[in-house]
Structure 1
Amino acid sequence: MGLALGGFTAPWWFALLLVLGVLAGGYVWAQVRRRRNVMRFTNLELLEKVAPRRQGWYRHLPAALLGVALLLLTVSLAGPTTTERVPRNRAVVMLAIDVSLSMKATDVQPTRLEAAQVAARSFVDDLTPGVNLGLVTFAGTATVLVSPTTDREGVRQAIDGLRLAESTATGDAIVACLNTIEQFGKVLAGAEGPPPARIVLMTDGKEMTGTTTASAAARDAAKARIPISTISFGTSGGVVDIEGKRVPVPVDDDAMREIAEISGGEFHKAASAEQLHRVYDTLGEQIGYENKQIDASRPWVVLGTLSAIVAVGAALLTGGRIP
């Protein structure tokens, strides 16, 4: 029975501890008064014969147990809560993967794209089963390959089939994710409102085209309260071979950091396949679960009740009456 506390919903009940303190003080005063009354008895020899044999310290055990019971029950009335990790079964996650030509750079082995595919599959496999996952790819345009679903097989197949194309429309990818989340939210929304959502954006280069800039799209995401977790993928020394020419494709960390900050998300740096795996694992934990405050009063009620029962039993055994 765990008693780790996260807070109290009705802490004013602790005012009862003042009453408990008064009762404890009254018990001590009664014991002292009883001792004084005994000492006033002039014929001590007669008192020794007629008075019952005095019990040891354990005569105070019932009262002590009763005090413990009242203390535990007071804590339960205060509404203790504890933090628990629970699955986000209503959440929507859009995974946006850059498939521009720069993703064939080999600064992340074997290539940026292949490393991304391996890590993305791991992310899909480890994500909480109840989370709705969708997939958007983008180069010169953004395409919704898989609408949000709890069926992971379609997402896995789409990841396996990624193909490279020219240019990078990062802003359009974010807009496509936002539109998909909005449409899906209308279907899934209930009494609790739209489901919580997040975008995971993985790209390696500067924005080159598109009808909406990445910063403007990030502001739209912030208004919709949809954070964007960006993964800046690759190194500053990335190079690709395009039509026989070696073209530098350095990663653009600043742009990805800006998108994350504007939208209220997090920026992650992944300069290797191993780092990318760690990033996806971290995101899977953050997205798949959330910490919630839940009621934790039951253990205190149980212990308080048991203490009261033991107190009554101890009183009957030691004094033949209930205190």
Structure 2
Amino acid sequence: MTWLSPERLWLLAAVAALIVAYVIAQRRRSRYAVRFTNLKLLDRVAPRRPGWRRHVPAGLFLAMLSLLVVGFAQPQAEVQVPHERATVLVAVDISRSMLADDVGPDRLTAAKTAAREFVADLPEQFNVGLVGFAGSASVFVPPVTDRAVLDSGIDRLVEGAAGQAGTAIGDAIATSLDAIRTLDAQAGEDVPPARVVVLSDGANTAGQDPAEAARAATEIGVPVDAISFGTASGTIQGGQAVPVDGQTLQAVAEATGGNYFAAGSADELRDAYADIGSSVGHRTEVRDVSARFIGVGLALAVLAALASLFWFARLP
């Protein structure tokens, strides 16, 4: 937390002085009561009351003053503000290894289900596109706001639909960036922020170097979030081992300022998409939060007044 007027916090010293003065006054009152020798008369003049109650209004009042001073110093904090518009490209690996059944019913089916949920949870005004990739990459749905079109595109994500065998992570990123550039050209100067989300289970084995694609994404300010999906024990028909390999994806995410997730189950994949959705849908801004302290301070003032009226039939 930062402060626009930190020098005003010195007023807390005045509040501290009031606390010291209150403690001294209470001690003097106690000593005076002890010196009063006629205890029966003292009990009639000043009947006993629960000692802690008389301190409550004063404590609430002093806490209120402290909070008002903090608010007066104009505190600022980072807050999450929803994006009004954004472009998101979801790239899904549809290579043969995604048919591994280490994640039931298989990696690809689980990935499609999670992608559908992810898209559905994004704000309606977001443009969302879909890229499928194996040995090459193809745009299945250009960035649109129509979620029905996206659902139809996700249904078409089947193994072999992207052409030859392999895993072209670099091509998937480059194809996603091309789709973003096309939309930005149509938007003119009012270009919304963009992001690419890549899901794969292996290292890059075809197409362009993912590091080159990551540099291109960095140049235009597009973070790439990456999810490696699967386990080390994955196999496909025939017993061929297809263990998950997330090193390439992690390097891409780190190079572009995105987030990397390793998901070994459908639940972990949903959690990864949920984390990405929260970052895609919001931006961090530094804003004045003095109203928080002032509001709580005023609430304490009301509580102090109510406590004093209820117990002592007077305002503090």
Matched residue, 1:178: 177
- For 1:238, the aligned partner's letter is T
**2-side partners of 1:76 and 1:239: how far apart?**
61
Q: Secondary structure at the match of 1:251?
A: coil
> Could you tell me how far 1:157 is from its partner in structure 2?
1.1
Matched residue, 2:86: 91
Q: Secondary structure at the match of 1:200?
A: strand
Give the structure-1-normalised TM-score: 0.69
User: Which deviates more, 151-160 or 98-107?
Assistant: 98-107
Matched residue, 1:103: 98
| RMSD of aligned alpha carbons | 4.3
Matched residue, 2:269: 276
Alignment check: 8 A CA contact 1:85 1:289 kept:
yes
Alignment check: 8 A CA contact 2:203 2:246 kept:
no
Using a 3 Å threshold, how does the CA distance of structure 1 residues 69 and 99 change in structure 2: closer, same or farther? closer
Alignment check: 8 A CA contact 2:79 2:284 kept:
yes
Q: Secondary structure at the match of 2:274?
A: helix
> Could you tell me how far 1:303 is from its partner in structure 2?
6.4
**2-side partners of 1:266 and 1:255: how far apart?**
13
- For 1:251, the aligned partner's letter is V
Once the two structures are aligned, what percentage of the paired residues are identical? 39
> Could you tell me how far 1:202 is from its partner in structure 2?
0.8
Using a 3 Å threshold, how does the CA distance of structure 1 residues 300 and 170 change in structure 2: closer, same or farther? closer
Does residue 72 of structure 2 align to residue 74 of structure 1? no
- For 1:172, the aligned partner's letter is D
Alignment partner of 2:211 out of 209, 212, 215: 215
Alignment check: 8 A CA contact 1:87 1:130 kept:
no
Task: In structure 2, list runs of 5 or more residues that go unmatched.
Answer: 25-55, 309-316
Matched residue, 2:259: 266
Matched residue, 2:193: 196
- For 2:262, the aligned partner's letter is K
> Could you tell me how far 1:117 is from its partner in structure 2?
0.9
Does residue 149 of structure 2 align to residue 149 of structure 1? no
> Could you tell me how far 1:230 is from its partner in structure 2?
1.4
Using a 3 Å threshold, how does the CA distance of structure 1 residues 64 and 159 change in structure 2: closer, same or farther? closer
**2-side partners of 1:69 and 1:97: how far apart?**
54
Using a 3 Å threshold, how does the CA distance of structure 1 residues 254 and 69 change in structure 2: closer, same or farther? closer
Using a 3 Å threshold, how does the CA distance of structure 1 residues 303 and 266 change in structure 2: closer, same or farther? closer
Matched residue, 1:254: 247
**2-side partners of 1:198 and 1:280: how far apart?**
13
**Offset from partner CA, 1:64-113 (integer Å, 9 cap, x none):** 99877664443222112455443223232210011222222333222221
> Could you tell me how far 1:19 is from its partner in structure 2?
6.2
- For 2:206, the aligned partner's letter is T
**2-side partners of 1:263 and 1:302: how far apart?**
41
Give the structure-2-normalised TM-score: 0.70
Task: In structure 1, list runs of 5 or more residues that go unmatched.
Answer: 1-5, 30-60, 315-323
Alignment check: 8 A CA contact 1:102 1:240 kept:
no
**Larger Cα-atom Rg:** 1
Alignment partner of 1:166 out of 158, 164, 167: 164
**1-side partners of 2:4 and 2:119: how far apart?**
37
Using a 3 Å threshold, how does the CA distance of structure 1 residues 283 and 304 change in structure 2: closer, same or farther? closer
Q: Secondary structure at the match of 1:199?
A: strand
**1-side partners of 2:275 and 2:144: how far apart?**
21
> Could you tell me how far 1:171 is from its partner in structure 2?
0.9
> Could you tell me how far 1:147 is from its partner in structure 2?
2.6
Q: Secondary structure at the match of 1:129?
A: coil
